């Protein structure tokens, strides 16, 4: 492998119709750099940033991914640096008159014979880890629960070697909120469905304060918890296991801790009896998202994830993509790929709901792209969206989830969530993922305590510097050392290894995880 700095000037053009391309070389290129086809830079261009492949007049369309990502605000000669300050952003596509289920991609050949070792649950779902999760109805109990969890880890967990971890599902919801407002269903069902994530084995236990608005029965009404085999024949319903801190029986802080630990031990014993078994790859439920993106995200990591997404669909698995604000500008590509008019209409409904939500807050559409995105070469949300959508691969979109809903089908699903990394991850957990794929270009140490997160670097430079945080280096695609297909297969195989517990992700190794962040569009009181 040649040293990155000695490589000849290289640009990457995505589509033949594009009039801009991005500079691939580490450290960028200086004025005068000459590409193999004779193009000469007339500006210094940082790595990942765009160069004009043709003379652009003021007002000319700037085309990347064969999509207009902006208009030149001044004349830009061939070889110029094309960045956000010389571009005007196009308006978002209207939600009327979109193509509905017009594209019928050729059926992908089934992928058979791939398996992993997972924990089969009573409801049929499969976990990739064996974790005791302690649900909380309200933030008030977070400190007590965390205290108890530390003692459970130190004193109880060693007695149950088949249990991987104990996780407190801490959040900021539960009281001081408009709990009867129509949109309150979103945070409530998110918490409910996270408690039922396949990695928790159906062993639900709740810590409640007592006086909060979100009462345990409201969070988990009778009938929502599947009955595990261990409860035996004849069980008709699982009674909700609640430790209520305000219960009269509690005298002193330690009596609360004792109650939580006593109940935890019951669930730990049942979890400890579980064993991994060989299950088909179709039992994977994978959430994909990106964060800290750069111009390489849409060239290396996201296309490789898109290829792996197709492999998952071919294997009969469930894979979901999300991040409404980052696909909104490509909605026409998505509605045309819907498997049915109903799926396309559901997607439009989610986009319209989100448009209204953003409008209520008078959101500046240009504010999605962060300073880091722009530094990495992504000029605006349109360019970012095109690079984000490729994570969804090429399969038909067969289902749509509203925020916080649980997935109940196989195939490629659009799970509507905000693009915020932590909120998207939280909502995908509620949707029932047992594995999370996260691509990053700028770099983020993102992780979740509840499911393994496989992180994919978009550039070799990041993969080298963050060698003990990034699990896969998709930058090899830009270096010419691997193809999109190579990295896609590597990722698919790594997913089976990680889901089986044969490999740990770097985030798991270092125990890095972010907080659960609920999406609450309803008022706080
Ligand atoms: Ca994100």
Read off the pLDDT of residues 393-438 as tens digits, 9 standing for 90 and up: 999 999 999 999 999 999 999 999 999 999 999 999 999 999 999 9
Task: Provide the pLDDT for residue 295.
Answer: 86
* Helix/strand/coil percent split, the chain, to 5: 35, 20, 45
> What does the alpha-carbon distance between residue 33 and residue 39 come to, in Å, rounded to a whole number?
8
Cα 55 to ligand 1 centre (Å): 34
Question: Residue 1: pLDDT band by 50, 70, 90 thresholds?
Answer: very low
Cα 440 to ligand 1 centre (Å): 9
* 353 and 502, same domain (yes or no): yes
* 312 and 423, same domain (yes or no): yes
Cα 150 to ligand 1 centre (Å): 30
* 382 and 262, same domain (yes or no): no
* 306 and 351, same domain (yes or no): yes
* 154 and 195, same domain (yes or no): yes
Residue 522 lies in a domain: no
Question: Residue 5: pLDDT band by 50, 70, 90 thresholds?
Answer: low
* 180 and 136, same domain (yes or no): yes
Cα 516 to ligand 1 centre (Å): 14
Of 227, 255, 273, the residue at which a domain comes to its end is: 273
Of 273, 298, 324, the residue at which a domain comes to its end is: 273
Is pTM beyond 0.85? Reply is: yes
Domain enclosing residue 82, as ranges: 1-91
Residues 6+ apart with CB under 8 A from 509: 468
Indicate which CATH number applies to the domain containing 40. Answer: 2.30.130.110
Q: pLDDT, tens digit, for every residue of 273-325? A: 999 999 999 999 999 999 988 889 999 999 999 999 999 999 999 999 999 99
Residue 306 lies in a domain: yes
* 168 and 192, same domain (yes or no): yes
* Mean pLDDT rounded to a whole number for the chain: 94
> Region 62-79: what's the mean pLDDT?
94
Residue 126 lies in a domain: no
Residue 336 lies in a domain: yes
> What does the alpha-carbon distance between residue 4 and residue 9 come to, in Å, rounded to a whole number?
11
Question: Residue 493: pLDDT band by 50, 70, 90 thresholds?
Answer: very high
* 262 and 323, same domain (yes or no): no
DSSP 54: S
* 303 and 319, same domain (yes or no): yes
Cα 293 to ligand 1 centre (Å): 9
* 499 and 420, same domain (yes or no): yes
Residue 105 lies in a domain: no
Task: Provide the pLDDT for residue 234.
Answer: 44
* 230 and 344, same domain (yes or no): no
> Is the per-residue pLDDT at 177 higher than 70?
yes
Residue 114 lies in a domain: no
Buried b (16+ CB within 10 A) or exposed e, 413-437: bbbbbbbbbbbbbbbbbbbbbbbbb
Of 256, 273, 290, the residue at which a domain comes to its end is: 273
Task: Provide the pLDDT for residue 480.
Answer: 86
> What does the alpha-carbon distance between residue 504 and residue 507 come to, in Å, rounded to a whole number?
8
Cα 290 to ligand 1 centre (Å): 5
Span of 118-127, 223-232, 261-270, 485-494 with lowest mean pLDDT: 223-232
> Is the per-residue pLDDT at 15 higher than 70?
yes
Question: Residue 103: pLDDT band by 50, 70, 90 thresholds?
Answer: confident
Task: Provide the pLDDT for residue 237.
Answer: 55
Cα 269 to ligand 1 centre (Å): 37
> What does the alpha-carbon distance between residue 333 and residue 195 come to, in Å, rounded to a whole number?
34
Domain count, the chain: 3
* 283 and 268, same domain (yes or no): no
């Amino acid at each position: 492998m040649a040293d990155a700095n000695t490589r000849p000037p290289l640009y990457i053009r995505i589509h033949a119709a594009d009039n801009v391309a991005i500079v691939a070389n580490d450290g960028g290129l200086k004025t005068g750099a000459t590409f193999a086809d004779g193009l000469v830079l007339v500006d210094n261009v940082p790595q990942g940033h765009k160069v004009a492949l043709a003379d652009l007049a003021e007002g000319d369309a700037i085309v990347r991914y064969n999509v207009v990502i902006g208009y030149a605000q001044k004349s830009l000669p061939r070889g110029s640096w094309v960045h956000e300050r010389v571009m005007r952003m196009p308006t978002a596509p209207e939600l009327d008159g979109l193509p509905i289920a017009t594209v019928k991609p050729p059926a992908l050949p089934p992928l058979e014979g791939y398996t992993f070792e997972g924990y089969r649950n009573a409801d049929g779902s499969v976990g990739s880890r064996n974790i005791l999760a302690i649900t909380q109805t309200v933030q008030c109990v977070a400190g007590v629960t965390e205290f108890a969890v530390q003692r459970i880890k130190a004193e109880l967990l060693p007695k149950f070697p088949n249990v991987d971890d104990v996780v407190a599902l801490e959040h900021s919801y539960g009281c001081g909120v408009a709990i009867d407002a129509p949109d309150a269903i979103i945070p409530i069902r998110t918490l409910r469905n996270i408690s039922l994530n396949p990695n928790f084995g159906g062993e639900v236990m709740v810590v409640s304060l007592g006086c909060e608005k979100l009462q345990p029965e409201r969070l988990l009404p009778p009938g929502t918890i599947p009955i595990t085999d261990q409860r035996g024949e004849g069980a008709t319903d699982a009674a909700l296991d609640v430790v209520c801190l305000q219960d009269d029986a509690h005298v002193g802080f330690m009596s609360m801790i004792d109650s939580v630990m006593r109940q935890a031990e019951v669930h730990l014993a049942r979890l400890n009896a579980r064993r991994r078994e060989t299950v088909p790859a179709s039992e994977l439920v994978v959430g994909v998202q990106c964060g800290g993106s750069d111009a390489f995200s849409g060239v290396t990591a996201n296309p490789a994830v898109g290829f792996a997404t197709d492999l998952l669909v071919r294997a009969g698995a469930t894979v979901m993509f999300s991040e409404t604000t980052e696909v909104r500008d490509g909605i026409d590509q998505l509605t045309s790929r819907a498997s049915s008019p109903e799926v396309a209409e559901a997607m439009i409904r989610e986009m319209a709901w989100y448009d209204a939500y953003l409008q209520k807050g008078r959101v500046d559409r240009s504010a999605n792209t962060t300073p880091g995105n722009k530094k990495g070469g992504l000029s605006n949300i349109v360019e970012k969206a095109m690079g984000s959508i490729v994570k969804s691969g090429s399969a038909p979109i067969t289902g749509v989830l509203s925020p916080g809903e649980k997935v109940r089908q196989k195939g490629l699903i659009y799970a509507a969530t905000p693009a915020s990394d932590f909120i998207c991850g939280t909502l995908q957990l509620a949707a029932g993922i047992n594995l999370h794929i996260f691509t990053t270009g700028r770099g983020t140490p993102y992780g979740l305590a509840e499911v393994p997160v496989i992180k994919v670097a978009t550039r070799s430079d990041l993969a080298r510097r963050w060698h003990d945080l990034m699990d896969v280096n998709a930058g090899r695609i830009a270096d010419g050392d691997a193809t999109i297909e190579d990295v896609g297969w590597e990722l698919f195989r790594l997913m089976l290894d990680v889901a089986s517990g044969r490999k740990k992700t770097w985030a798991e190794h270092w125990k890095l995880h972010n907080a659960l962040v609920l999406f609450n569009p309803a008022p706080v009181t």
